[in-house]
Chains A and B, each alone.
Chain A
Amino acid sequence: SYELTQPPSVSVSPGQRARITCSGDALPKKYVHWYQQKSGQAPVLVIYEDNKRPSGIPERFSGSSSGTMATLTISGAQVEDEGDYYCFSTDNTAVHRVFGGGTKVTVL
């Protein structure tokens, strides 16, 4: 079955840049979307189609993708950005969808 691989955790100091990677064999042909989940809450979309930001999402969130790896970047991380981040995409069949394992972001 298709998998998306993320690092389990990322730590960053307030105001610094955090990068979260997501790798998958189908990514050269498929978009990646990113979700933020804070403790006890439903996930929230922060980036869609590799690099588009939904309305209401701060500009410090950005995305990129190259080859088999996509990256979510938080530029100038804030304490309120702490949480779990998941990438999401589909396999080459475009039918089966998959989440990455999630990355816990700590800002301290």
Chain B
Amino acid sequence: QIQLLESGPGLVKPSETLSLVCNVSGDSISNSIHFWGWVRQPPGKGLEWIGTIYHTGSTYHNPSLKSRVTMSIDTSKRQFSLNLSSVTATDTAIYYCTRLRLGATPWFDFWGQGTLVTVSS
């Protein structure tokens, strides 16, 4: 059974960079029918797609986050990462790492438990 586990600081100061890592177990991070992504949820609000990354390293991110998002993947470590720069209080959210299933319109078929990141001085 696949497991996705997010890790990283729970508290980040404004203007600094939020960094999270997702460790993948129970599945190959390089398989051809899945790729990987990040979703966040501010407290009491809805879900927001952050970005997706393929095992090749190709990435796509939400245009609303402009150029603040950087994602990477390390297949040898079976992990992928998210960096979000210049954070403000509005970036406070539960951050989920996810697996997406390839298809005509890909979908998230598995989610990590999520990790709360608070932006505060």
Contacts of A42 in B (CB 8 A): 96, 111-114
Complex interface residues of chain A between 65 and 88 (CB less than 8 A to chain B): 84, 86, 88
Cβ of B74 within 8 Å of any chain A Cβ, yes or no, is no
Residue of A nearest to B50 (CB): A97
Let me know if A48 and B109 touch, CB within 8 A: yes
Interfacial residues, chain B to chain A (CB-CB below 8 A) = 39, 46-49, 52, 60, 62-64, 96, 101, 103-109, 111-114
Could you tell me the distance in whole angstroms from the C-beta of B89 to the nearest C-beta in chain A? 21
Let me know if B48 and A99 touch, CB within 8 A: yes
Residue of A nearest to B52 (CB): A97
Let me know if A88 and B104 touch, CB within 8 A: no
- Say yes or no: A97-B114 contact (C-beta < 8 A), given A45-B107, A88-B108: no
Which of B39, B47, B105 sits near A94, CB closer than 8 Å? Answer: B105
Distance, CA A97 to CA B63, complexed state (A): 10
Residue of A nearest to B37 (CB): A97
Please list the 8 inter-chain residue pairs (A to B) with the smallest Cβ-Cβ separation, ordered nearest first.
A31-B105, A33-B107, A42-B111, A102-B46, A99-B47, A97-B49, A48-B107, A30-B105
Distance, CA A72 to CA B101, complexed state (A): 20
Let me know if A96 and B109 touch, CB within 8 A: no
Distance, CA A32 to CA B112, complexed state (A): 21
Cβ of A15 within 8 Å of any chain B Cβ, yes or no, is no
